[in-house]
Amino acid sequence: MTQASSGSADSRNFLGVAEARAAILDGLSPISGWERVAVRAALGRVLAEDVIAPYNVPAHDNSAMDGYAVRAQDLAASTETSLAIVGTAFAGRPFSGIVGAGQAVRIMTGASIPQGADTVVVQEVARREHDRVFIPTGQKKGQNLRRAGEDLAQGGVALAAGTRCGPAELGLIASLGIAEAAVRRPLRVAFFSTGDEIASIGRPLGPGEVYDSNRYTLFGALSRLGCELLDMGVVPDRPEALEAAFRDAALTADVVITSGGVSVGEADFIRQMMARLGEVAFWKLAIKPGRPMAFGRIGGAVLFGLPGNPVAVMVTFYQFVHDALLKLMGVSPLPPAERFPARADFSLRKQPGRTEYLRGRLQRAPGALSVALAGAQGSGVLSSMSEADCFVVLPEDCTAVQPGDTVLVQPFHGLM
Ligand code: AMP
Ligand code: MG
């Protein structure tokens, strides 16, 4: 990848990605309010308090294998050992006796280790003859046991507050016998599209109109995050209509997200209105696509004014809004930005000074991962997002990419 020596975002009065992210995230703290919900309903929700293990998991030392529970001290070092089988231990049906000298108990996976025994010999290596079992040499004391508390220790933090519950967390909570979890209330997000030319689906397009797609991308992205949605439709570029929409949204929502109307040509009256309603900064971001963006507060709500172009909406959402919403939802720590190197299967020239987010498709190449560009890269070409499975992130100082160069990719997997 070719790099320019100068032309940083700062020197051109644009805000860099890292500065913008920091400016957004630093000022946000989690919403208050939580509720207790049944384990299943905790899926996708954020724990409001630590989940403490009420007892050990597993509760007892148990066998990791089907085999024979024995006493290590009985096993001869250099010859096969013959032991008397005195009973069987099943999972959920323990052997109630004590394993004495020269004795063994047939044991199944998950069964409690009988008193006296300290080692499990797998059935594949043992030879059984009637009520005796022959154990070869080479066994290690304590082998094939799962120790009590090895998964979760009694009194310990099984899951920390701030954890977002996925399938593993639901199972883990259930494994502790806990039926309900304390989770933060869902984040309430109001969103609308702006623009006189924006038409809602369900009616024919007038001359010069385009169908509203941003509200649908945002619906998808916000639903994935488990937000409570307030879809406010399309608002025309009229100051009174916009002001009413902003006031309305800020009244009930924690977050207001809009698209369109923040570029230089349109922003003036929005700027004045925002100054009346709250405190909002209009940024020129050093990114492509998605240069203009507004961020601030109106009333009690956090505002993100995203650009209008459909790809720019998705790029700014996933680079800035997504993690901000996680932080407001109480997710802690925030997941690290998932970026990894891949070999470029394309060539490209680029102006220095902006971080560029291309839409890419990952391919498994021999010994490496390679990435090709997914379709036309215009900021309005939504099909490139649909074809893509990752962003290719080119830093500000990059000026060209040649086939074979190493570039950083941010996979969509787990993000969208
Ligand atoms: P703006 O930032 O309002 O100047 O919009 C930039 C471009 O994005 C224009 O071509 C708009 O028509 C288009 N656009 C804005 N909002 C939407 C929307 N909700 N759905 C689809 N295209 C949009
Ligand atoms: Mg517009």
Counting ligand 1 atoms within 8 A of each CB, the residue from 219, 234, 242, 309 with the most, and so the one to mutate, is: 309
Token duo for residue 269: 């009256």
Q: In this predicted structure, what is the pLDDT of residue 269?
A: 77
Which ligand is nearest the CA of 262, by number? 1
> How far are the Cα atoms of 59, 110, 152, 239, 292 from residue 148, in angstroms, in the given order?
5, 12, 8, 66, 57
Could you report how far apart the first and last alpha carbons of the chain are, in Å?
A: 28
State in Å: Cα 118 to ligand 1 middle.
70
Instruction: Specify the pLDDT at position 263.
Output: 81
**Tens digits of residue pLDDT in 379-412:** 989 999 999 999 999 999 999 999 999 999 999 9
Ligand 1 mutation target, pool 192, 198, 217, most atoms within 8 A of CB? 198
Its pTM stands at: 0.89
Tokens of 152: 């979760």
Minimum mean pLDDT range among 145-159, 182-196, 206-220, 267-281 = 267-281
pLDDT band at residue 205 using 50, 70 and 90 as cut-offs: very high
Burial class (CB in 10 A: 0-12, 13-18, 19+), 382: buried
Q: In whole angstroms, what is the distance from residue 61 CA to residue 212 CA?
A: 60
**pLDDT-based confidence at residue 40 (cuts at 50, 70, 90):** very high
The vertex-140 CA angle with 139 and 141, nearest 5°, equals: 125
Measured in Å, residue 197 CA sits from the centre of ligand 2 at 8
User: What local confidence, expressed as pLDDT, does residue 348 receive?
Assistant: 96
CA of 266 to the centre of ligand 1 (A): 11
Element (H, E) at 191: strand 188-194
pLDDT for position 8? 55
Distance in Å, CA 211 to ligand 1 centroid: 9
Beta-strand pair 406-411/340-344: antiparallel
Residue closest via CA to ligand 1's atom 15 equals: 308
Select from 389, 415, 47, 25 the least CA-distant residue to 220: 415
CA 362 to ligand 1 centroid distance, Å? 29
Place of tokens 């992130």: 393
CB 337 within 8 A of CB 362: no
Which numbered ligand comes closest to the C-alpha of 381? 1
Q: How far is the CA of 290 from the centre of ligand 1 (A)?
A: 11
Q: Note the pLDDT of residue 1.
A: 80
Cβ 307 under 6 angstroms from ligand 1: yes
Please tell me whether the peptide bond between 58 and the residue prior to it is cis, using omega within 30 degrees of 0.
yes
Q: Whose CA is nearest to atom 14 of ligand 1?
A: 308
The Å distance, Cα 376 to ligand 1 centre, comes to 18
Ligand showing the shortest atom-to-Cα distance for residue 193: 1
Per-residue pLDDT tens digits for 71-108: 999 999 999 999 999 999 999 999 999 999 999 999 99
User: What pLDDT is attached to residue 368?
Assistant: 83
* Residue 193 CA, ligand 2 centroid: distance in Å: 9
Pairing of strands 287-288, 390-394: unpaired
Give yes or no for residue 112 CB within 6 A of ligand 1. Answer: no
Which atom from ligand 1 is nearest to the alpha carbon of 312? 8
Q: How far is the CA of 350 from the centre of ligand 2 (A)?
A: 27
Nearest CA to ligand 1 atom 5: 308
Q: For ligand 2, an ion, list residues with CB under 5 A.
A: 195, 260-261, 308
Cis peptide before 333 (omega within 30 of 0): yes
Q: Specify the residue for token string 């009244």.
A: 251
- Give percent of the chain above pLDDT 90: 88
310 lines ligand 1 (CB under 6 A): yes
State the pLDDT at residue 267: 65
Ligand sitting nearest the alpha carbon of 236: 2
358-386: per-residue pLDDT in tens?
999 999 878 889 999 999 998 989 999 99
- For residue 89, give the nearest of 154, 152, 153, 145 by alpha carbon: 145
Q: How far is 210 from 207, CA to CA, in rounded Å?
A: 9
Could you tell me where the beta strands, DSSP code E, fall in 203-354?
A: 210-211, 228-235, 255-259, 278-284, 287-288, 292-298, 301-306, 340-344, 348-349
Query: Mutation test of ligand 1: which of 196, 197, 210, 304 has the most ligand atoms closer than 8 Å to its C-beta?
Result: 210
What's the gap in Å between 296 CA and the centre of ligand 2?
Answer: 20
The confidence score (pLDDT) of residue 78 equals 95
Q: Tell me if residue 184 falls in helix, strand or coil.
A: strand
Ligand 1 pocket check for 237: Cβ under 6 Å: no
